[in-house]
Amino acid sequence: MKDKATEVAMKRYDRRAFVYDFMEGFGERWRFGRWRKMQWNKVEGRNILEVGVGTGKNFPYYPAGAEITAIDFSDKMLARARSKAQKQGVKVRLLQMDAQKLEFADNSFDTVVGTFVFCSVPDPVLGLKEVERVVKPGGKVLLLEHVLAANRTLASLMNLVNPVVVRVMGANINRRTVENVARASLTVEHVTDLAAGIFKLIEARKR
C-alpha cells in the first residue's frame, strides 16, 4: 500500500505526463541535455538501474551494450517511455516501481542513475537507502539534481516558493541532496557544481 504522500506525487506526475516533455523543453535545450550526457558518460559496469525514468529523456545517452532496467512510479510516464523506447529502438526493461521500495535483491546493479528524481521522491533518504541497498559493493551512484542554494538569500526565496513549485511542477527545489546521499550511507566522492550552486552532479559509491 502506498502512503498518502507517494500517492499524491504519483497522481501529480500521471496528470502531467502528456505535457511533461513540452514543459521542460527549454531546460533540455538550455543545458539539461548536455548535463545528462555528462552524467551517463560516468556510468560503470554493464548492469545499470535508472531510477525515475520519466518519459525516457535519458534514452539517447544510454551506453551501448549495457543491460539497463529503468523504473518509475507513474504509469502514465512509463507509457510515454515505452512508446519512445519503441520508436527510438532503445533496449531497456521498463518497470513500474516506487524508488522508496525497490523490488530488487541486494547488490544487484553496477551503477544506479537518477536524473532530477530525488527532488520528487516523498522520502528522499528512504529512496537513497534503497539505492544503496541494490547497488553492488563498490558500485557507483550518479545523481543529477537541483538542490537548495548555499546563498542564504536565494535559499530563503527557494524555501518560500517551494510549496507553489511542488504544486505546479511536482518537484521540490529546496532539497539538500548531497547531505541526503551521505545520510543514506553512501560515500560522496565528487560533487560538480553545474550552475549557480543549484544544479549539481553527485558521484557517490557504496562502501
Long-range contacts of 83-91 (CB under 8 A, 24+ apart): 84/55, 84/56, 84/59, 85/56, 85/59, 88/56, 88/59, 88/60, 90/56, 90/59, 90/62
pLDDT at 18: 79
Contacts of 157 (CB under 8 A, 6+ apart): none
CA distances from 137 to 14, 27, 140 (A): 34, 34, 9
- pLDDT per residue as tens digits for the range 183-204: 999 999 999 999 989 999 999 9
Q: Which CATH number fits the domain that encloses residue 15?
A: 3.40.50.150
Domain coverage including residue 112: 4-206
pLDDT at 29: 67
Nearest of 54, 46, 42, 66 to residue 17 by alpha carbon: 54
Number of domains in the chain: 1
- pLDDT per residue as tens digits for the range 71-112: 999 999 999 999 999 999 999 999 999 999 999 999 999 999
- pLDDT per residue as tens digits for the range 2-44: 688 899 888 888 888 777 766 666 667 668 999 999 999 999 9
pLDDT at 135: 98
Mean pLDDT of 54-81: 96
- pLDDT per residue as tens digits for the range 116-175: 999 999 999 999 999 999 999 999 999 999 999 999 999 999 999 999 998 888 889 999
- Is residue 1 pLDDT above 90, yes or no? no
| Amino acid at position 28, single letter | E
pLDDT at 21: 67
pLDDT at 16: 82
pLDDT at 22: 67
